[in-house]
Amino acid sequence: VGIEDLSYDQIADVNKVFVSRIRDLKNDSRFKYILIFRNYGQRAGAVIPHPHSQLIATPITPKRVMEELRGARRYYSFRSRCVFCDMMSEESEAKERVVYENSQFLSFCPYASRFPFEIWIVPKIHASDFENIEESAMFELADVLKATLQKLKKALNEPDYNFILHTAPVRHSRNGSWATIDKEFHWHIEIMPRITYVAGFEWGTGFYKNPTPPEEAAKYLRKMDVL
């Protein structure tokens, strides 16, 4: 059983817990980042079998988060636009990598997917911090999660996966390098099925070889009838 098997209301409840935990932990000045993730299945590192998510608050901004923020900033300083907003408008137009969408969210296989069937879920309206999500978007978020994860489950016969919420770091002050994050960064969810193993090439380079083009993965996922 995964989160996709819960009802819309139950999925929304899980997301509301994330929101309330993040809001509360942000008040603690020791924390710089609040990471929410889900490991599904053994190959994704899960050690307990029932559906569960994890939250880890860190006293520094993680390396990977910094890299993503820096990348977003580089794009913003060049184009004066959010890279995720631009990515979504290209994906909406091209359509070939789209997995599912509703009025508030787009789910797609990114152009430079690192893994077969990698999927990102991105809110259509620019927002840097997940916990500022409107109450009215909660049902749409539950819907996009349920549809996307059920498609993935059906397409790959219940694959193991990692699910990671990418949201902006805690800003105890809005000065200095944190001043413009609101405009540069866009929260989103990354879903990484664990159907191939990370090997020496990936460890040695930080580059990823992916045998499945995202267009093919998305086409296959779109065909899956779910809900």
Binding a second copy by CB under 8 A: which of 65, 133, 170, 218? Answer: 65
Closer to a second copy at the Cβ: 54 or 89? 54
Distance CA 124, CA 45 (A): 31
Binding a second copy by CB under 8 A: which of 3, 11, 12, 46? Answer: 46
Distance CA 71, CA 58 (A): 21
Answer yes or no whether residue 80 interacts with a second copy by CB under 8 A. Answer: no
Task: Mark whether 52 is an active-site residue.
Answer: yes
**Min dist. Cβ of residue 52 to a second copy (A):** 11
Expressed in angstroms, the distance from the first to the final Cα of the chain is: 15
**CA pseudo-torsion sign 120, 198, 160, 116:** positive
**Min dist. Cβ of residue 34 to a second copy (A):** 11
Binding a second copy by CB under 8 A: which of 37, 75, 76, 220? Answer: 37
Helix (H, G, I), strand (E, B) or coil at 87: helix
Distance of CA 180 to the CA centre of its chain: 21
Binding a second copy by CB under 8 A: which of 14, 85, 164, 195? Answer: 164
Answer yes or no whether residue 203 interacts with a second copy by CB under 8 A. Answer: yes
Q: Which stretch binds a second copy (CB under 8 A): 14-22, 80-88, 200-208, 217-225?
A: 200-208
14 Rama sector, left if φ>0, alpha if ψ -120 to 50, beta otherwise = alpha
**Beta carbons of 180 and 37 less than 8 angstroms apart:** no
Which residues is 108 bridged to in the sheet? 98, 120
Size of the site for a second copy (CB under 8 A): 35
**Beta carbons of 221 and 117 less than 8 angstroms apart:** yes
Closer to a second copy at the Cβ: 129 or 140? 129
Q: Contact positions toward a second copy, by CB under 8 A?
A: 33, 35, 37-39, 42-46, 54, 56, 58, 62-65, 67, 162-164, 166, 192, 196-207
Cite the active site residues.
52
